Amino acid sequence: MNIPAHVRTILRPGAVVTTNVWPAQARRVHVLCIGGAGMSAVARLALEAGCTVSGSDAQEGQFLPPLREAGARVYVGFAREQLPTDADVVVVSTAVRPDNPEVLAAREAGIPVVHRATALAGLIGERETIAVAGTHGKTTTTAMSVMALRGCGEDPAFAVGAAVADLGRNAALGENCAVIEADESDGSFLAYRPRVVLVTNQEADHLDFYETAENVTAAFQALVAGMGSDGVLVACADDPGARALAEAAPCRTVLYGNAEDADWRISDVTTAAAGARARISHARHGELVLELAVTGAHNVLNAVGALAACVELGRDVTGLLAGLSRFHGASRRFELKGEVSGVSVYDDYAHHPNELQATLSSARQVAGEGRVIAAFQPHLFSRTKAFAAEFAQALSLADTALVLDVYAAREDLDESVNAKTIVREYTGGDERVRAAGPREQLPGEVAALAHPGDIVLLLGAGDIVAESPRVLAALGARD
């Protein structure tokens, strides 16, 4: 793996990871934080490859019962004795700390410790692969790509960072090609050597790891360069970062979007609660009609990106379009959690300003004459501080936006950054964007605001998802 010295990546050996090479004969695999969406995908692929799999996590989660049923030995909590003495490899995520007792035991025993992306690359092997990268939109576009290929009768390997009901699971080894959600947050996507790289967008984010926007760009450039001259970059023509990446790419490029010079050009987009429809123009394939069961202009973009990437693997356009039409969305991507007294409650993973803007714009279209009430939980102190003004601007698309305290995730507490950091940047002169009250009062606060016909959006990458049932209960208690 030849990674330029100036490119930041978690793959280099350090305090946790000991190698960026997947052991060729690995048959006994131990996975730390096995309950996460990405780590459970590694465990699933290893099981389907015939490996003996064990692992541990700090708490129970939705992905653990299926892994146990498939044969994995799973522990809750971390302890040295849980690491099998005959393990061939230990797989970690970026969130695993150097003082984890199972990491310490592995290093003392000389057992290789690799990052999740190295494991995925090793388990996928030499399959013809599409790597879906981008600051946002990766999960949905990866799942769409898998559904598109299934529409052609394919059974691709895949790993996606969320539960997707249409796929049946978040990972599978499949039979032929592969589609991987390529996480840019820590430079780990450089572990992959895909045939096609699909970039939905490329913006400054994850500055807690990269520090500068230039370092983010350098990582994307290294991913594209890693394909070699025979690879294909499929990039969104509407996104300045993705377009710039294409203009500098050392390989063939394919553009998609609404821009006039896009190879796959989108027009006549219509969206509603039941889905979306658009026309697509392509020099070789002519005029096409895309019909989706998910709403939003951003999902039309995601679908056309998936279509363009899958065509580069030589798949039939008609079958791909049919597969895309059967995609019903990923977990926590504008996911309807319930409706009470005419108020619809949605959950969404949006945690970047542009994601908020896309989700709120879709909600506005779906709400029609109703109002959009948003509750947003910022994710990471560093991201909140860096994009406070952009968050405030995006949240102003709601009729009322309540900003919760910051979800720290992997960062240490920073008392100087909180909900008011965003609220202070709102310049509308009213209380459209304001700090939420105490967390335990959020359901009642939302219920007091919502009227029949309104949409309530719970936004963020943290634990705000836990509020959905409580909000629905509070709405019901008013009757």
- Mean pLDDT for 219-246 is 94
pTM of the model: 0.76
pLDDT, tens only, 247-284: 999 999 999 999 999 999 999 999 877 789 999 999 99
Determine whether 339 is an active site residue. no
3-class secondary-structure state, position 291 = strand
Close Cβ partners of 110 (under 8 Å, ≥ 6 residues apart): none
Give the active site residue among 9, 94, 138, 295: 138
pLDDT score at 354: 80
pLDDT, tens only, 45-102: 999 999 999 999 988 877 899 899 999 999 999 999 999 999 999 999 988 999 999 9
- Token pair for residue 278? 């658009």
Q: Which helix (H) or strand (E) holds 40?
A: helix 37-48
pLDDT, tens only, 371-409: 999 999 988 888 898 889 989 988 988 999 999 988 887
pLDDT score at 128: 94
**Given pLDDT bands bounded at 50, 70 and 90, which one contains residue 38?**
confident
pLDDT score at 429: 77
Whole-angstrom Cα distance, residue 140 to residue 177? 18
| Cβ atoms 22, 89 nearer than 8 A | yes
Whole-angstrom Cα distance, residue 171 to residue 286? 34
Provide the pairing of β-strand 264-272 with 275-282.
antiparallel
Give the active site residue among 102, 154, 181, 312: 181
Question: Tokens 């490899």 appear where?
Answer: 89
pLDDT, tens only, 40-55: 999 999 999 999 999 9
**Sequence ranges of the chain with CATH classification 3.90.190.20:** 335-477
pLDDT, tens only, 280-314: 999 999 999 999 988 888 899 999 999 999 999 99
Helix axes 317-325, 297-311, angle to 10 degrees: 150
Give the active site residue among 135, 139, 200, 400: 139
**Sequence ranges of the chain with CATH classification 3.40.50.720:** 28-116
Task: Indicate the residue type of 76.
Answer: V
| CATH superfamily ID and name for 126-325 | Mur-like, catalytic domain (3.40.1190.10)
Length of the chain: 479
| Cβ atoms 362, 295 nearer than 8 A | yes
| Cβ atoms 200, 305 nearer than 8 A | yes
DSSP calls for 346-358: EEE---SHHHHHH
Determine whether 337 is an active site residue. no
Whole-angstrom Cα distance, residue 254 to residue 204? 23
CATH architecture of 28-116: 3-Layer(aba) Sandwich (3.40)
Q: How many CB atoms are closer than 10 A to CB 50?
A: 8
pLDDT higher than 70, residue 1: no
Q: Which helix (H) or strand (E) holds 157?
A: strand 157-159
- Mean pLDDT for 111-119 is 96
3-class secondary-structure state, position 327 = coil
> Is it true that domain 335-477 has CATH number 3.90.190.20?
yes
Determine whether 138 is an active site residue. yes
